[in-house]
């Protein structure tokens, strides 16, 4: 079995590759893995260091918008797992062009190459942010929820989702979509709230909390996220969408409190800053579809996962240079 993993040098993609090589996903055991990654600011080839010497792993530095390269790389491929994306909401607010290029045009380029190569399955890794924003008492989203993205990031991911589904409906390409919730764990570039706050606090710096801090996110450990993606890769039905949630809803204020506790610090390290433009209030997903169909269940207790993540950043301070 030959698997292409786009964005495999980033946070979630590299975890998926490291775990797959260690045969953590029965459906993918023994497969050859080809990582395709442009190595933007968010990707590091070193994230794959534990497995790069394995003969089943090949690394190709390249852009998913490169039609010729994607045609070439996807030849004789059984499975594409598509993680590559511009992934940070704040960056999409200050400049959306790269988000449209990579997330929309890049996904279309891959889909066309996958169609030509007649790949066995195409798993597109998407996000709960495509559903929009929920009130505090709103019912968690099922996969049937209409798309209502707010940030340019979420809009670019929703556009990609529609293209992926269009390639299934028009051409019969065997696609599956996963929609993961806010993911945390080791190897994440320090710009999103958990790695940013941990890195700054470890360096003795204050952390910026947006607005009233009451925005709610559904936290998912990277190991659970990747298990969900692997289950869909192995047994997901073509044309279907699967929510992958973590089940731990916290306000950003509560999350910050947990991080301060883990590091033995107090509120004086928190600086209130103006809210993010268009800041979604709450994300929450119903995961009964993937649980019922594929046996998915988040396994990493949040407090344990968070403590281990803080510990990992403590042991890897300065990994991203000036940023951390």
Any bridge partners for residue 244, and if so which?
Answer: 180
Q: Which lies closer to ligand NAD via its Cβ, residue 77 or residue 127? A: 127
Restricted to residues 100-139, the positions that interact with ligand NAD (CB under 6 A) are 102, 106, 125, 127
* Residue from 25, 153, 242, 296 carrying the catalytic annotation: 153
Exactly one of 37, 63, 86, 128 is catalytic; which is it?
128
Is 85 a binding residue for ligand NAD by CB under 6 A? The answer is: yes
Choosing from 129, 145, 161, 224, which is the catalytic residue?
129
**SS3 annotation, the chain:** CEEEEECCCCHHHHHHHHHHHCCCCHHHCCCEEEEEECCCCCCCHHHHCCCCCCCCEEEEECCCCCHHHHHHHHCCCCEEEECCCCCCHHHHHHCCHHHHHHHHHHHHHHHHHHHHHCCCEEEEEEEHHHHCCCCCCCCCECCCCCCCCCCHHHHHHHHHHHHHHHHHHHHCCCEEEEEECCEECCCCCCCCHHHHHHHHHHCCCCEEEECCCCCEEEEEEHHHHHHHHHHHHHHCCCCEEEEECCCEEEEHHHHHHHHHHHCCCCHHHEEEECCCCCCCCECCECCHHHHHHHCCCCCCCHHHHHHHHHHHHHHCCCCCHHHC
Q: How far apart are CA 83 and CA 179, in angstroms?
A: 11
User: Which range in 177-185, 234-242, 268-276, 293-301 contacts ligand NAD by CB under 6 A?
Assistant: 177-185
Closer residue to ligand NAD (CB): 87 or 256: 87
Among 3, 17, 20, 65, binds ligand NAD (CB under 6 A): 65
The number of residues making up the chain comes to: 324
**Binding characters for ligand NAD, 191-210, by CB under 6 A (x = yes):** --------------------
69 binds ligand NAD (CB under 6 A): no
Nearer to ligand NAD, 21 or 42 (CB): 42
Query: Is residue 38 a contact point for ligand NAD (CB under 6 A)?
Result: yes
Binding residues for ligand NAD, rule CB under 6 A, total: 30
Q: Is 9 in the site for ligand NAD (CB under 6 A)?
A: yes
Question: Which of 2, 4, 11, 154: binder of ligand NAD (CB under 6 A)?
Answer: 11
Q: How many CA atoms lie within 13 A of 258 on its CB side?
A: 19
What minimum distance in Å lies between the beta carbon of 181 and ligand NAD? 6
For the chain, state the CA radius of gyration.
19
Q: Between 25 and 83, name the residue whose CB sits nearer to ligand NAD.
A: 83
Q: Between 89 and 119, name the residue whose CB sits nearer to ligand NAD.
A: 89
Whether 135 is a known active-site residue: answer: no
* Minimum CB–partner distance for residue 41 and ligand NAD (Å): 8
CB of 219 to ligand NAD, least distance (A): 9
Quick one: which of 205, 202, 222, 206 has its CA closest to 317?
202
x/- contact string, 148-167, with ligand NAD (CB under 6 A)?
A: ---------x----------
Q: Is 128 annotated as catalytic? A: yes
Residues that bind ligand NAD (CB under 6 A): 6-7, 9-13, 37-40, 42-43, 63-65, 83-87, 102, 106, 125, 127, 157, 180, 182-183, 189
Catalytic residues: 128-129, 153
């Amino acid at each position: 079995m030959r698997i292409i993993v786009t964005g495999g040098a980033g946070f979630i993609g590299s975890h998926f590759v490291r775990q797959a090589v260690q045969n953590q996903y029965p459906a993918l055991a023994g497969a050859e893995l080809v990582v395709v990654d442009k190595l933007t600011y968010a990707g590091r080839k070193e994230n794959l260091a534990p497995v790069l010497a394995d003969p089943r792993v090949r690394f190709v530095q390249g852009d998913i918008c490169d039609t010729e390269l994607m045609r070439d790389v996807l030849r004789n491929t059984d499975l594409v797992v598509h993680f590559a994306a511009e992934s940070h909401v704040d960056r999409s607010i200050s400049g959306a062009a790269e988000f449209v290029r990579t997330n929309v045009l890049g996904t279309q380029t891959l889909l066309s190459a996958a169609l030509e190569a007649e790949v066995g399955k195409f798993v597109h890794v998407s996000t709960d942010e495509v559903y929009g924003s929920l009130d505090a008492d709103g019912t968690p989203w099922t996969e049937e929820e209409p798309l209502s993205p707010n940030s340019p990031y979420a809009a670019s991911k929703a556009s990609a989702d529609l293209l992926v589904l269009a390639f299934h409906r028009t051409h019969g390409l065997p696609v599956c979509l996963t929609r993961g919730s806010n993911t945390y764990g080791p190897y994440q570039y320090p710009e999103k709230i958990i790695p940013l706050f941990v890195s700054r606090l470890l360096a003795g710096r204050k952390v910026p909390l947006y607005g009233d801090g009451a925005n709610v996110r559904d936290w998912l450990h990277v190991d659970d996220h990747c298990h969900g993606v692997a289950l869909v890769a192995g047994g997901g039905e073509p044309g279907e969408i699967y929510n992958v949630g973590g089940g731990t809803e916290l306000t950003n204020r509560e999350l910050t409190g947990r991080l301060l506790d883990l590091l033995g610090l107090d509120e004086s390290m928190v600086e209130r800053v103006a809210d993010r433009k268009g800041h979604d209030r709450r994300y929450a997903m119903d995961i009964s579809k993937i649980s019922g169909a594929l046996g998915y269940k988040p396994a990493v207790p949040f407090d344990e996962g968070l403590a281990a993540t803080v510990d990992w950043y403590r042991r890897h301070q300065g990994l991203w240079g000036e940023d951390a």
